[in-house]
Structure 1
Amino acid sequence: MSKRIDVSDLDVYYGDFLAVEGVTMAIEPRQATALIGPSGCGKSTFLRTLNRMHEVIPGARVTGKALMDGQDLYGQDVDPVTVRRQIGMVFQRPNPFPTMSIADNVLAGVKLNNRRMAKGEQQDLVEASLRGANLWNEVKDRLERPGSSLSGGQQQRLCIARAIAVRPQVLLMDEPCSALDPISTLAIEDLIAELKSDYTIVIVTHNMQQAARVSDRTGFFNIAGTGKPGRLIEMDDTATMFSSPREKATEDYISGRFG
């Protein structure tokens, strides 16, 4: 089951530096939410707070609330590893484990969580995950070959298969197509359209056309200047954001006048 995430008054700090300030938004289940804005405005930083990935950086902390179906993701009794199991992440550059086979890459997260599976169950999960990532037909005859033997676009879909193998409810994607060619980008975009029927998806992208194509809702982040915190300027249905945004800064960014 996909989940709804409600964020309110979220501030993100790295030590004493306030990187992102006052984010309030609702991320709807079974929809794709795009986060757009100029470089350095806190989009990726905010994205990482949703599954506590930013905490791998010493001194990182948040204030405010982030609730998934009412559960505080930062509650004292909440294990960050459990959060990351429920909220998977796909990074900017494909990062399959190069010495692992395609099949073992898919199973890596499951094994990391110490889940014991019979061989037949493993095979079923590999096939289901690769089918879910629209990769099965391309790799089913070479599952024992290294993940690094695939093309860039295939590697990114392998990383998506690895993410969904642990059966998360939410998928975070941090510029998943920025290192890919147009054909591979189209494959990922088509995949996002399919996956959102089962998952809540949040994607950071610098590609305005991509945001318009793949997302149901769009949030625009901006920054007042160097050393200032990133802020969520506005958020709305994607069609509204791209046709009649409320804020002039949003219109200027989307139309290419800055950013």
Structure 2
Amino acid sequence: MAQRIDVKDLNIYYGDFLAVQDVSMTVEPKSVTAFIGPSGCGKSTFLRTLNRMHEVIPGARVEGKVELEGVDLYGADVDPVAVRRTVGMVFQRPNPFPTMSIRDNVLAGVKLNNRRISKADAEDLVESSLRGANLWNEVKDRLEKPGSGLSGGQQQRLCIARAIAVKPQVLLMDEPCSALDPISTIAIEDLIGDLKQEYTIVIVTHNMQQAARVSDRTAFFNIAGTGKPGKLIEMDDTATIFSSPAEKSTEDYVSGRFG
């Protein structure tokens, strides 16, 4: 199920403004890759190019390639909606649909994609997705209650269940724990460790300890100053990035000297 991502010479624009410059990297399947770096360096912008969410902003565009198992996601014959089915996304703040039940939240992506599904299959999918998000035991007796009635950490796991219900190959997570308390954060981090057995996971985080705990590889982005494009400074095994990075700016960032 998990798939490899190859990014080649990617430049990301908002109109004429070059926001992220000349990024090349490989994201390995069945692994967790963390993007770190100071605010404004393009981490989240780059993350959104991996499932073509960037281009929903008027004037936004990319140059270069993003390949999923050799298929260019920006190819002329590629449907961006199909890309977003294959490459799911979990956002910074939990965003369950407030008027929908827990069950309907899980099934929302499936229904939006016009997939016909029998009632029995739908029930199986709800259970398997909630189990996959480590939420089933907490909500199995209140599936008809609104998803918005759950705690923040539970809502975020519900959003993860909604994302995996459409059976993606890749999960993108944009600071998924930044709005959560420490106990909920630990639950999400444990879940990420479980999910990487089946998915390719990319996470943006400002929490250095979190990056060190959950990721296999880490990419450090930086920016030379206001109005300058963000750049990928280096990418390596997480242990190497945090113990003996190649670049001094990486060492300064992970040690807390700036950022």
Fold equivalence (TM over 0.5): yes
For 2:54, give the aligned amino acid: H
For 1:152, give the aligned amino acid: G
Is 1:111 the counterpart of 2:134 in the alignment?
A: no
Report the Cα distance in structure 2 between the residues aligned to 1:200 and 1:118, rounded to whole angstroms: 29
Report the Cα distance in structure 2 between the residues aligned to 1:140 and 1:40, rounded to whole angstroms: 40
Query: 1:88-147, CA deviations, whole angstroms, 9 ceiling, x for partnerless residues?
Result: 000000000000000000000000000011111100000000000000000000000000
- Give the 5 Å matches for 1:223-234: 223-234=223-234
Report the Cα distance in structure 1 between the residues aligned to 2:8 and 2:116, rounded to whole angstroms: 38
Report what 1:183 is aligned to.
Answer: 183
Unaligned runs of 5+ in 1: none
For 1:65, give the aligned amino acid: K
Report what 1:258 is aligned to.
Answer: 258
Offset, 1:30: 0.2
Report the Cα distance in structure 2 between the residues aligned to 1:246 and 1:72, rounded to whole angstroms: 30
Offset, 1:167: 0.0
Secondary structure at 2:10's aligned position in 1? strand
Query: 1:136-162, CA deviations, whole angstroms, 9 ceiling, x for partnerless residues?
Result: 000000000000000000000000000
Query: 1:163-210, CA deviations, whole angstroms, 9 ceiling, x for partnerless residues?
Result: 000000000000000000000000000000000000000000000000
Offset, 1:224: 0.2
Query: 1:206-226, CA deviations, whole angstroms, 9 ceiling, x for partnerless residues?
Result: 000000000000000000000
Q: How many residues align?
A: 259
TM-score, normalisation: structure 2: 1.00
- Give the 5 Å matches for 1:90-101: 90-101=90-101
Report the Cα distance in structure 2 between the residues aligned to 1:76 and 1:133, rounded to whole angstroms: 35
Report the Cα distance in structure 2 between the residues aligned to 1:153 and 1:249, rounded to whole angstroms: 34
Report what 2:82 is aligned to.
Answer: 82
Report the Cα distance in structure 1 between the residues aligned to 2:42 and 2:83, rounded to whole angstroms: 21
Report the Cα distance in structure 2 between the residues aligned to 1:148 and 1:225, rounded to whole angstroms: 40
Report what 2:32 is aligned to.
Answer: 32
TM-align CA RMSD: 0.3
Is 1:158 the counterpart of 2:158 in the alignment?
A: yes
Is 1:52 the counterpart of 2:60 in the alignment?
A: no
For 2:133, give the aligned amino acid: A
- Runs (4+) of structure 1 exceeding 4 A deviation are none
For 2:222, give the aligned amino acid: N
Report what 2:141 is aligned to.
Answer: 141
For 1:171, give the aligned amino acid: L
Report the Cα distance in structure 2 between the residues aligned to 1:65 and 1:161, rounded to whole angstroms: 29
Secondary structure at 2:110's aligned position in 1? helix
For 2:125, give the aligned amino acid: L
Report what 1:174 is aligned to.
Answer: 174
Report the Cα distance in structure 1 between the residues aligned to 2:204 and 2:118, rounded to whole angstroms: 37
Report what 1:67 is aligned to.
Answer: 67
